[in-house]
């Protein structure tokens, strides 16, 4: 099977919404009237963004959701995607399963795959996603102001917990891998981009980001872009690993909640007087989100603090995920 046959067989479907879909040098696409395109690109590398053991259908799904999560964080409606797929070999059952997962995820959001390419090399999946958003309604990182509340759209920590449970002991902080439930492994391998929520937060959230790298890291991005500081209440953060919050796993649980990525929940701020609207919005979308802190004026420079039950700043030695750390 050649590169072109591979693309034709697994990754080509006629487009109904692009001016020109797959199969030419470029696709031709335009935002819907009144909108601009939100555009994002992300690469998933084997061993870095997913384990070699992941089921290929799950990997296809995951690659889509990771990219759509960025669109969700802008309040954009996903419309088109391009796939650049690097494969070490042509393993047809693997590719068929990967494609099935990819298409299922794209179909769930009515996204058309309009281009891309395949090449041979270490397994990597680069996806570019384009979505519609009215230019003035896009959710940016920069709109948070003192007095706003900080929200997260769902539980944190499960994905990191599951990841550590799949690694050898030596790769886990503390030297002992935890035990994860299947539900936690599902959360890690099959994150769900909060696409509908992102659009519902237009005009409601003052700033927004998706949690791909870890809560603290993302909160710092919001704080820096908005020129504010952020206080997070540790006890308010929803997590299903709270019951693991005991020795010897307590430090690891804290690490997972605060600093491991792959949650793909939205982290956003909203004016305090919109608290009820935000709550209704989360409930309407079936999400176990929560208010986890507040935006305060920055002193010398934007800072993110984590507060304990006595509102004292905790000493946090960990950071968000950095691919080069």
List interacting residues with its own copies (CB under 8 A).
1-4, 6, 19-20, 23-31, 35-43, 45, 47-49, 70-71, 73-74, 76, 80, 82-84, 86-87, 90, 114-122, 124, 126, 128, 130-131, 133, 135, 138, 140-142, 208-210, 225, 322-325
82 or 257: CB nearest its own copies: 82
Q: Supply φ then ψ for residue 145, to 5 degrees.
A: -130, 155
| Class of residue 23 by CB neighbours under 10 A (exposed 0-12, middle 13-18, buried 19+) | middle
In the complex with its own copies, the residue whose CB is nearer, 24 or 308, is 24
Q: At its nearest, how many Å lie between its own copies and the CB of residue 248?
A: 29
The answer to whether the beta carbons of residues 182 and 240 sit under 8 Å apart is no
Please tell me the distance from the alpha carbon of residue 43 to that of residue 166, in angstroms, as a whole number: 21
CB of 322 to its own copies, least distance (A): 5
Closest distance of CB 36 from its own copies, Å: 4
By beta-carbon proximity to its own copies, the closer residue of 107 and 322 is 322
Q: How far apart are CA 238 and CA 291, in angstroms?
A: 9
Q: Three-state SS for 205?
A: coil
Q: Could you tell me the smallest distance in angstroms from the CB atom of residue 164 to its own copies?
A: 19
Contact 209, 222 (CB under 8 A): yes
Whole-number Cα distances in Å, 67 to 60, 118, 199, 289, 311: 11, 18, 15, 21, 36
Q: How far is the CB of 117 from its own copies (least distance, A)?
A: 6
């Amino acid at each position: 099977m050649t590169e072109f046959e591979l693309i034709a067989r697994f990754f080509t479907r006629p487009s109904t919404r692009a001016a020109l879909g797959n199969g030419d040098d470029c696709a031709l696409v335009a935002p819907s009237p009144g909108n601009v395109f939100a555009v994002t690109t992300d690469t998933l590398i084997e061993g870095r963004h997913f384990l070699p053991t992941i089921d290929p259908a799950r990997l296809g799904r995951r690659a889509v959701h990771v990219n759509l999560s960025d669109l969700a964080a802008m309040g954009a409606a996903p419309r088109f995607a391009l796939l650049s797929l690097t494969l070490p070999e042509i393993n047809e059952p693997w590719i068929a399963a990967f494609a099935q997962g990819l298409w299922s995820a794209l179909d769930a959001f009515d996204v058309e795959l309009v281009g891309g390419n395949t090449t041979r090399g270490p397994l990597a999946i680069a996806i570019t996603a384009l979505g519609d958003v009215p230019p003035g309604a896009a959710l940016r990182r920069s709109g948070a102001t003192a007095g706003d509340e900080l929200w997260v759209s769902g539980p944190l920590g499960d994905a990191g917990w599951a990841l550590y449970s799949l690694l050898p002991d030596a790769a886990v902080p503390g030297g002992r891998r935890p035990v994860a439930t299947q539900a936690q492994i599902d959360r890690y391998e099959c994150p769900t981009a909060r696409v509908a929520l992102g659009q519902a937060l237009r005009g409601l959230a003052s700033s927004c980001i998706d949690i791909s790298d870890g809560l603290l890291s993302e909160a710092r991005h919001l704080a820096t872009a908005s020129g504010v500081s952020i206080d997070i209440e540790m006890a308010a953060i929803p997590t299903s690993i709270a019951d693991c919050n005991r020795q010897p796993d307590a430090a690891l649980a804290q690490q997972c909640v605060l600093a491991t990525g792959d949650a793909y929940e939205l982290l956003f701020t909203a004016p305090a007087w919109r608290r009820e609207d935000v709550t209704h919005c989360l409930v309407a979308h079936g999400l176990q989100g929560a208010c986890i802190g507040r935006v305060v004026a920055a002193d010398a420079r934007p800072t993110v603090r984590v507060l304990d039950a006595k509102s004292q700043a905790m000493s946090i030695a960990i950071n968000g995920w950095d691919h080069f750390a």
